[in-house]
Amino acid sequence: MEKINIGTHGFTLPMPQSILGTHYEGRTNYMALGWVTRVNFKPQLIGIGVNKGHASNKAIRETRQFSINFPSVDMVELTDYAGLISGKRTNKSGLFEPYYGKLERH
Protein backbone atom coordinates (compact mmCIF):
# COMPACT_ATOMS: atom_id res chain seq x y z
CA MET A 1 0.00 0.00 0.00
CA GLU A 2 1.26 3.45 -0.87
CA LYS A 3 1.90 5.94 1.94
CA ILE A 4 -0.70 8.72 2.22
CA ASN A 5 0.39 12.05 3.69
CA ILE A 6 -2.37 13.40 5.95
CA GLY A 7 -0.45 16.57 6.84
CA THR A 8 -0.92 18.15 10.23
CA HIS A 9 -4.52 17.00 10.64
CA GLY A 10 -3.84 13.49 11.95
CA PHE A 11 -6.52 13.46 14.62
CA THR A 12 -8.24 10.33 15.81
CA LEU A 13 -11.93 10.87 15.24
CA PRO A 14 -14.34 10.95 16.83
CA MET A 15 -12.67 12.63 19.79
CA PRO A 16 -14.69 12.21 22.98
CA GLN A 17 -16.31 15.33 24.40
CA SER A 18 -15.49 15.72 28.04
CA ILE A 19 -15.80 18.18 30.90
CA LEU A 20 -12.74 19.28 32.84
CA GLY A 21 -13.43 20.04 36.49
CA THR A 22 -11.09 22.23 38.53
CA HIS A 23 -11.05 24.43 41.62
CA TYR A 24 -10.53 28.03 40.49
CA GLU A 25 -10.28 30.83 43.04
CA GLY A 26 -12.07 28.80 45.73
CA ARG A 27 -14.94 27.53 43.62
CA THR A 28 -15.65 24.61 41.32
CA ASN A 29 -15.09 25.42 37.65
CA TYR A 30 -15.91 23.48 34.49
CA MET A 31 -14.53 23.64 30.98
CA ALA A 32 -15.53 21.73 27.85
CA LEU A 33 -12.46 19.68 27.02
CA GLY A 34 -12.01 18.40 23.49
CA TRP A 35 -8.45 17.11 23.84
CA VAL A 36 -8.24 14.07 26.11
CA THR A 37 -6.50 10.79 25.38
CA ARG A 38 -4.96 7.81 27.12
CA VAL A 39 -1.19 8.06 26.91
CA ASN A 40 -0.20 4.95 28.84
CA PHE A 41 -1.81 1.73 30.03
CA LYS A 42 0.36 0.84 33.00
CA PRO A 43 0.63 3.07 34.89
CA GLN A 44 -2.70 4.51 33.79
CA LEU A 45 -2.05 7.99 32.40
CA ILE A 46 -4.39 10.39 30.63
CA GLY A 47 -3.21 13.38 28.63
CA ILE A 48 -5.21 16.59 28.24
CA GLY A 49 -4.61 19.86 26.42
CA VAL A 50 -5.66 23.13 28.07
CA ASN A 51 -4.70 26.55 26.68
CA LYS A 52 -2.34 28.52 28.95
CA GLY A 53 -4.73 31.46 28.98
CA HIS A 54 -7.68 29.50 30.40
CA ALA A 55 -8.75 29.70 34.05
CA SER A 56 -8.63 25.88 34.16
CA ASN A 57 -4.94 25.85 33.23
CA LYS A 58 -4.16 28.24 36.09
CA ALA A 59 -6.29 26.16 38.48
CA ILE A 60 -4.49 22.92 37.58
CA ARG A 61 -1.08 24.52 38.01
CA GLU A 62 -2.04 25.94 41.42
CA THR A 63 -3.94 22.95 42.89
CA ARG A 64 -2.41 20.10 40.85
CA GLN A 65 -5.89 18.54 40.78
CA PHE A 66 -8.59 18.09 38.15
CA SER A 67 -11.33 15.72 37.10
CA ILE A 68 -12.30 14.46 33.67
CA ASN A 69 -15.99 13.76 33.16
CA PHE A 70 -17.83 12.38 30.16
CA PRO A 71 -21.25 14.04 29.75
CA SER A 72 -24.33 12.21 28.58
CA VAL A 73 -26.20 13.36 25.48
CA ASP A 74 -28.75 15.24 27.57
CA MET A 75 -25.91 17.47 28.82
CA VAL A 76 -25.02 18.84 25.36
CA GLU A 77 -26.29 22.39 25.97
CA LEU A 78 -24.56 22.67 29.37
CA THR A 79 -21.35 21.25 27.93
CA ASP A 80 -21.45 23.77 25.08
CA TYR A 81 -22.07 26.61 27.55
CA ALA A 82 -19.19 25.43 29.76
CA GLY A 83 -16.90 25.69 26.75
CA LEU A 84 -18.07 29.09 25.56
CA ILE A 85 -18.10 31.04 28.84
CA SER A 86 -14.89 31.82 30.71
CA GLY A 87 -14.51 30.84 34.35
CA LYS A 88 -12.56 34.07 34.80
CA ARG A 89 -15.77 36.06 34.32
CA THR A 90 -18.54 33.61 35.24
CA ASN A 91 -19.10 31.35 38.23
CA LYS A 92 -19.91 27.95 36.68
CA SER A 93 -19.81 26.02 39.98
CA GLY A 94 -23.52 25.06 39.96
CA LEU A 95 -23.74 24.38 36.25
CA PHE A 96 -24.20 20.60 36.54
CA GLU A 97 -26.03 20.70 39.87
CA PRO A 98 -29.25 19.20 38.40
CA TYR A 99 -27.21 16.04 37.67
CA TYR A 100 -25.54 15.65 41.11
CA GLY A 101 -26.55 12.38 42.69
CA LYS A 102 -27.94 11.03 39.42
CA LEU A 103 -24.57 10.10 37.95
CA GLU A 104 -23.06 6.66 38.18
CA ARG A 105 -19.66 6.50 39.79
CA HIS A 106 -17.17 3.88 38.61
Residues 19-52 pLDDT 10s? 999 999 999 999 998 888 888 888 988 899 999 9
**Which residues 6+ apart lie within 8 Å of 38 measured at CB?**
44, 45, 46, 47
**Which residues 6+ apart lie within 8 Å of 26 measured at CB?**
none
Other Cβ atoms closer than 10 A to 29: 25
Domain extents in the chain: 18-90
Residue 94 has pLDDT above 80, yes or no: yes
Q: What is the DSSP string of 51-78?
A: -TTSHHHHHHHHH---EEE---GGGHHH
* Fold for the domain defined by 18-90: Pnp Oxidase; Chain A (2.30.110)
What's the mean pLDDT in 66-74?
90
Question: What is the chain's alpha carbon radius of gyration, rounded to the nearest angstrom?
Answer: 16
State the pTM of this model. Answer: 0.75
Residue 106 has pLDDT above 50, yes or no: no
